[in-house]
Amino acid sequence: MSARAGQPEVLAPAGSPAALDAALLCGADAVYFGVDVLNARRNAENFTLEHLADTVRRCHVRGVKVYLTLNIVVLEQEIPQLMRAAEAACAAGVDAVIVQDAGEAAILRRCAPKMPLHASTQMVVHNAEGARRLESMGFSRVVAARECTREELAAIAAGTSMQVEAFVHGALCMSVSGQCYLSSVLGRRSGNRGLCAQPCRLAFTAGGCGHALSLKDMSLIERVRELQKTGVCSLKIEGRMKRPEYVAAAVTACRAALAGETPDMESLRAVFSRSGFTDGYFDGRVDSSLFGYRQKEDVTAAAGVLGKLENLYADPRRQVQKVGVEMAFAMKAGAPAFLSVLDCDGNCVCAEGDIPQAAVSRPTDPDRARVALCKTGGTPYHVERTLCSISPGLMLPASSINALRRDALAKLDEQRGAPRPVQFDAAALWTPPDSPRAPRPALHVRLYDPKQLSEEMMEEAALVTLPVQALLDLLERDEPPCPDKLCAGLPRILFDGQDRLRAQLERLRGYGVKHAAVGNPGAAQIAADYGFLMHGEPFLNATNSYAAEALAGWGLCDLALSFELSLDAARALRSPVPRGVTVYGRLPLMTMRACPVKAFVGCARCRQGENFITDRRGESFYTSCAYGCAELLNPMPLFMADRLDELGGFDFVELRFTTETPADCARILRAYRYGGRCDGPFTRGLLYKTVL
């Protein structure tokens, strides 16, 4: 069961049974959906574990692969639930599981080694180095970041033997997937946990322009041939929260484009868009043309096309017949009519029918038999070839041939839909190892600017991290004390510029720098290539002990846990390497390739101090470009210096300085050394909350 020869598969969302029907009947090659919970669209209708096997059977009969989404970060107490879902997926014979959590991937590799793993786009793979890192973990496919250009997708495909999947149509998040904490920090509804409340779609403004955090939907459907040339093997349609008419329109448009026909983009735009579509990222055009939001005319446009689009999937007799078959029909005197059917996947069935009679007037000939045999409307099958062996002078009514055909195809349905379970060994689950706890947490400090660094900070901190270029500037200008404490903060996102980064790291090694902070798979791969001692950042989203162990397997010497963990949950997490938490700073709420300040205000005004966007209540959210991308910062800093006694049980705590002046940094550092109170508004972040 595969896409048409030489073409990438069309992968459709199935957020509900009706959407699944639309995908199946309109010709999708594969579908992806979640069950109950533990998937990144938990508000979709989804499917149940109880009916998973039957759903997979229906898809397999129609030549459609099934990818099950378990693509959220998993909390420790959810591991038993994950095991049940994984066991059900293996029993049902799904074709792959899509995951985000490194710990979940490790569990599946151990308990179900033959289950293919697809790396969710939330694993932040945007370069070939990231793909290679995940390939070493046992992934067979990677879903590339939506923000990739044509050339970047080609580089990922060329740089790994894994399959590469890319989004071809659907919503664009403002943040790089997996790197958004806006919804969880503002309302405990985590995008990394499948419950994003989409606060970005609200009326944030930049330079007087509204909806500064809302992008148009993307569409590359008219450019599928270009996508195919990059080496992409799967065209993914976003939209598990969308109605079935949207799924039908998108799948039909993709099929038309791949066939060299003109897709119906007007209907697709009418059923759902945000001020139209964009292909800006694909072309490397990152400017204000990317931005858009859902307006009244976008909503009302759908009314005129819903009936038309429903017709694409409402009548099963009009379904796209994806499964090619060959039929061999035989009719001899005194013996039952015989039909064998061979499908494109090698399945073969046989059936016997009525005994033919001597013809009185008009005998059954091959042409008449073929007419009856090819009546496969309402089934997934289309007849590619028929062979007829008919003795002369015999007659078999068309109704008997029809019955024989139906009997054979029913048997073929049964054979194609037979369970193909994957072995699952629950006993292979292990208890991750722990490491000895430090009696008192060490202090790690991360800076944006070398001017924030002081002698006192160098004395007090066990590790001081600066962006790569900022650290080089510091070392070329000064000779700071304790160079062994200095750490190179690799870019949060590195779509291109790998050669420049490698040259910078070479120079840092020459200065004796041994440490590198990494927050995504690609950064870890590059740092490992140069032999740095790697420090895992919170952006790796470690939320359970299995993830900590899997990430430690990259060669990390310590790991900062996810911002989305409470203190209690983080303290209970086991890790084979020292682990810590962030206890101060304006937390990065988003990591963005399309900077709204650059788009609507301009870099010159940003450098002059207009480096913020404003929400509907007048609160300012600052942006920074310090780590190779634009970051949206929380207006209020996380502060815990007045509760130092509650930070025990960790190996280190981290202070993140962003917009603070050198004097601010010195004052806050002393507060965390001796205890102190915050001079202004602050937040406890999620340290005393549980994200949903």
Written as one string, the DSSP assignment of 567-597 is HHHHHH---SS-EEEEEEB--EEEEESS-HH
Neighbouring residues of 244: CB distance < 8 A, sequence distance ≥ 6: 16, 18, 19, 21, 22, 310, 313
How far apart are the C-alpha atoms of 115 and 92, rounded to whole Å? 12
Closest CA to 282 of 238, 233, 230: 230
CA atoms within 13 A on the CB side of 599: 27
How far apart are the C-alpha atoms of 113 and 4, rounded to whole Å? 28
The rounded Cα 439 to chain-centroid distance in angstroms is 39
Is residue 253 left, alpha or beta, with left meaning phi > 0 and alpha meaning psi from -120 to 50? Answer: alpha
362 class by beta-carbon count within 10 Å (0-12 exposed, 13-18 middle, 19+ buried): exposed
Closest CA to 341 of 402, 389, 387: 387
Phi and psi at residue 363, in whole multiples of 5°?
A: -70, 160
Mean pLDDT of residues grouped by 10 in the chain (692 residues)? 71 95 96 84 75 96 96 95 96 97 98 98 96 97 97 96 97 95 93 92 91 96 97 96 95 96 95 93 94 91 90 87 96 97 97 95 94 95 96 95 97 96 97 86 96 94 96 87 89 93 95 96 97 98 97 97 97 96 97 95 92 92 87 96 95 96 96 93 94 82
How far apart are the C-alpha atoms of 627 and 590, rounded to whole Å? 12
Phi and psi at residue 237, in whole multiples of 5°?
A: -95, 125
Q: Give the CA angle between residues 174, 9, 254 to the nearest 5°.
A: 65
Neighbouring residues of 50: CB distance < 8 A, sequence distance ≥ 6: none
| Residue 429 token pair | 């689950």
What is the rounded (10 degree) CA torsion for 443, 444, 449, 450? 70
How far apart are the C-alpha atoms of 594 and 610, rounded to whole Å? 17
For the chain, which residues make up each domain, given as ranges?
A: 9-172+215-316, 323-417, 442-581+637-674
How many beta carbons lie within 10 A of that of residue 3, not counting itself? 20
Closest CA to 489 of 459, 523, 458: 523
Q: Which superfamily, per CATH, for 442-581+637-674? A: Aldolase class I (3.20.20.70)
* Domain 9-172+215-316 shares a fold with domain 442-581+637-674: yes
How many beta carbons lie within 10 A of that of residue 332, not counting itself? 14
Fold of 9-172+215-316: TIM Barrel (3.20.20)
| Residue 46 token pair | 């989804």
How far apart are the C-alpha atoms of 28 and 19, rounded to whole Å? 11
Whole-Å CA distances, 12 to 31, 272, 461, 591: 5, 16, 50, 27
What one-character DSSP code corresponds to residue 335?
A: S
| Residue 260 token pair | 């060299």
- pLDDT of 434: 87
